[in-house]
Amino acid sequence: MKTIYNAAHGAHRAEYEFFRGEKVPAFEKPERADWVHAAVQRAGLGDAVPPQAHDDTVLLKVHTEPYLDFLRGAYETFAALGGVGAAFPSVWPIRGMRADREPTNFAARMGRYSFDSGSPLTAGTWLAARTGANCALTGAALLSAGERSAVVLTRPPGHHAGRDFFGGYCFLNNAAIAAQALRDRGCARVAILDVDYHHGNGTQDIFYDRGDVFFASIHGDPLTEYPFFLGHADETGRSAGEGCNLNLPLPAGASVEQWFAALRVGSEAIRRFRPDALVVSLGVDTFEGDPISHFQLRVSDFPRVGHAIASLACPTLFVLEGGYAVQEIGGNVVAVLQGFLR
């Protein structure tokens, strides 16, 4: 399987994040991508393709221009104001306030373009995110050139980043960027299957009104699980996108069989949509040993995930999302890919 690895991912490196009011070591750390990359190489799956540089054309169809402009310059602005370490938002335009006027104040702009304080923005965040987007665009190009599958190994992850906001460790939505690129390269319909433990609220936000990109997500019930404010089953899409959004929330602690039952429902809906290409938001934080998630998939369950995805018989681009703090994430990603190839 062609592998597109972002050698610049380590530029995004935060020491801390805030968790339950405390500064704790960041869960979303560079070792994650290194573990996955090493495991992919060890398994002989690393048919490496260097990422090609791409301009902002596709990014501008997925994110707003003011958001991209903000993100590109955010850390420099923070540093010029005397900021040290990572920048965190602290104030947000909540209901009844105005998000249409962009303040000039940096802290205010951080809040305007984010939805949580759990996503440290560091000196190298833009570099890592933007080169990650190049990896996603390269993956889409490979599929368009006839590859049956490819995998994008990058971080920070992407599926929580919406049209004009970051959050959930995500800044640019790599899976959405890949899906848009596949559309632009001639796929009439693209499906995105999000198997990360957390709802892909950013991806849903980006495609909610569109009938050309189907989004299906299996995730912890937002009543108790992050990102809390999106991901319910009654969110089915809007206007042209009505019927093209499928949320399959499961209670925290759901069994492996419940999870695979949801995957069957999602797969069936994707089959009915008849996509020309599939993008998989591949989070392996569904693993029983994940430190911040509550599903129970074991190492031996991940090949089944890949096998079920392969049965959709569609050109498939895997994009790395979550999976935290345990070296097993490398083996779990490999297991999905091997199950797919089998």
Q: What positions carry a catalytic annotation?
A: 160
User: 18 vs 106, which CB is nearer to ligand Q9C?
Assistant: 18
Of 261-290, binders to ligand Q9C (CB under 6 A) are: 283, 285
CA 157/CA 173 separation, integer angstroms:
7
* Positions 304 through 333 that interact with ligand Q9C (CB under 6 A): 321-322
Q: Single out the segment in contact with ligand Q9C by CB under 6 A; choices: 46-54, 155-163, 232-240, 325-333.
A: 155-163
Q: Which of 283, 306, 331, 339 binds Zn ion (CB under 5 A)?
A: 283
Between 165 and 273, CB nearer to ligand Q9C: 165
Specify the residue, 196 or 328, whose C-beta has the smaller distance to ligand Q9C. Answer: 196
Q: Hey, which residues between 168 and 207 contact ligand Q9C (CB under 6 A)?
A: 168-170, 196, 198
If you ran DSSP here, which 8-state letter would residue 57 be given? T
| Rounded CA separation 157/191 (Å) | 19
User: Nearer Cβ to Zn ion, position 74 or 309?
Assistant: 309
- Which region, judged by CB under 6 A, interacts with ligand Q9C, from 1-9, 97-105, 156-164, 236-244? 156-164
Count residues binding ligand Q9C (CB under 6 A).
18
Interatomic CA distance for residues 59 and 204, integer angstroms: 16
Verify binding: residue 229, ligand Q9C, rule CB under 6 A. no
Binding segment for Zn ion among 66-74, 124-132, 213-221, 314-322 (CB under 5 A)? 314-322
Would you say 303 or 322 has its CB closer to Zn ion? 322
Cα-based angle 172, 173, 177 (whole degrees, multiple of 5) = 110
Cis peptide bond upstream of 156, omega within 30: yes
For residue 315, count CB atoms less than 10 angstroms from its CB and return exposed for 0-12, middle for 13-18, buried for 19 or more: buried
Which of 35, 75, 113, 197 is the binder for Zn ion (CB under 5 A)? 197
- Quote the crossing angle between the two packed helices 302-310 and 256-273, to the nearest 10°: 20
For residues 53 and 132, the answer to whether their CB atoms sit within 8 Å is: no
Nearer to ligand Q9C, 51 or 118 (CB): 118
Residue 198 as a binder of Zn ion (CB under 5 A): the answer is: yes
Helix (H, G, I), strand (E, B) or coil at 53: coil
Asked if 322 touches Zn ion (CB under 5 A), the answer is: yes
Tokens of 118: 């759990």
Is 226 a binding residue for Zn ion by CB under 5 A? The answer is: no
**DSSP one-letter string for 92-132:** ---TTS-SSS--SSHHHHHHHTBS-S-S-B-TTHHHHHHHH
Quickly list DSSP for 260-312.
HHHHHHHHHHHHHH--SEEEEEE--TTBTT-TT----B-GGGHHHHHHHHHTT
Q: Is 194 exposed, middle or buried (0-12, 13-18, 19+ CB in 10 A)?
A: buried
- Provide the sign of the torsion angle of the four alpha carbons 37, 143, 218, 211, taken in this order: positive
118 binds ligand Q9C (CB under 6 A): yes
Q: Is 120 in the site for ligand Q9C (CB under 6 A)?
A: no
Q: In the complex, what is the shortest distance from the CB of residue 330 to Zn ion, in angstroms, rounded to a whole number?
A: 16
Residues found near ligand Q9C in the complex (CB under 6 A): 17, 19, 27, 118, 157, 159-160, 168-170, 196, 198, 226, 283, 285, 292, 321-322
Residues found near Zn ion in the complex (CB under 5 A): 196-198, 283, 285, 322
